[in-house]
Amino acid sequence: MENRKIIHIDMDAFYASVEQRDHPELRGKPIAVGYAEKRGVVSTASYEARRYGVRSAMASTKAKRLCPQLVFVPGRMEVYKEVSRQIHEIFHEYTDIIEPLSLDEAFLDVTENKPGIQLAVDIAREIKQKIRTELNLVASAGVSYNKFLAKIASDYRKPDGLCTIHPDQALEFIARLPIESFWGVGPVTAKKMHALGIHNGEQLRARSRDTLLREFGKVGALYYDCARGIDLRPVEAVHVRKSVGCERTLEKDISLRSSVIIELYHVAVELVGRLERRDFRGNTLTLKIKFHDFNQITRSITQSKELITLDIILPLAKQLLKEVDYESHPIRLIGLSVSNPREETKTTGVWEQLSFEFGEWK
């Protein structure tokens, strides 16, 4: 599979860059797309704001403390969707094998490409230039022989980066990677990795598959393969929808059981409506809770019957909620999703916000 040519394109500070492009008075200033109110969250920060430590998903109040001159700009999702469509038109000049991850990033398989360009790095360079000249926006690109390395490469020299990881260089490159850069390694997993003496790719590669499976479950196999530069997943232009979900950011943190049950009910009602509109059938229900301190947990349950009606979903959601200690940890956000779908359910699964907060997830 090392003869594949995969490109990962990632728009730099996408929402914020669109706002600075369309509003010249914002150029060069630290801006955040989102809402400045007490319950607001930063969706995207410009690079001027990031120099102060402002990041996506950060509470607006904290962002303003870090950068008092921060300018908040309301999001314009329809505009971002249209710009994303224009970016994809550029992609299609080179290939139709495009796997979008979000509005602002995608994988492209250019092993066989429309212009017949031999080097994938030349295609990536052309795409970056067209995005700059036609849309007045900046993208970073990573090029390699699989999705894992292409994604790593696109992050390596941000912003406006272009990085290629050749098969001959892959193992050496991976050896130097901090463990936090590996797919699926968040703060909790990274902490566990560190406790095991694993801080980089070289130390990860030294562990056996059995050890990683024992410590991390099925995802341990992914860590084992990625440490060796192995990722056989194809770039998929069509997805099976894996989940339908929704979440609600609350107006204030809550810990009273009656209040939590009421909010859970509202989310469950919205979820049932989304399942019906998308004709989605699944057997696993997942509860997502974000606490007042932004720590987050999920709890899941799988049933033999399909989860499609409120009288099935709500009791299961309440059952999952019993596993959550929220009396001493007030809740900021509640989410529910249904997954484990029928095979014929098509398209891309996403979490959808019910509040005015929206995220540029990475």
What's the CA gap between 153 and 336, in Å, rounded? 33
For residue 129, give every residue at least 6 positions away whose Cβ sits within 8 Å of its Cβ, in sequence order, or none. Answer: none
What are the tokens at 176?
């130097």
Q: Is the dihedral of CA 33, 34, 35, 41 positive or negative?
A: negative
Q: Active-site residue among 48, 99, 105, 360?
A: 105
Tell me what percent of the chain is helix, strand and coil, each rounded to the nearest 5: 40, 25, 40
Would you call 105 a catalytic residue per the annotation?
A: yes
Phi, psi for residue 75 in degrees, rounded to 5: -75, 150
Phi, psi for residue 86 in degrees, rounded to 5: -65, -40
Strands 139-144 and 6-11: antiparallel
What are the tokens at 5?
């040519």
What's the CA gap between 10 and 155, in Å, rounded? 8
Catalytic residues: 105
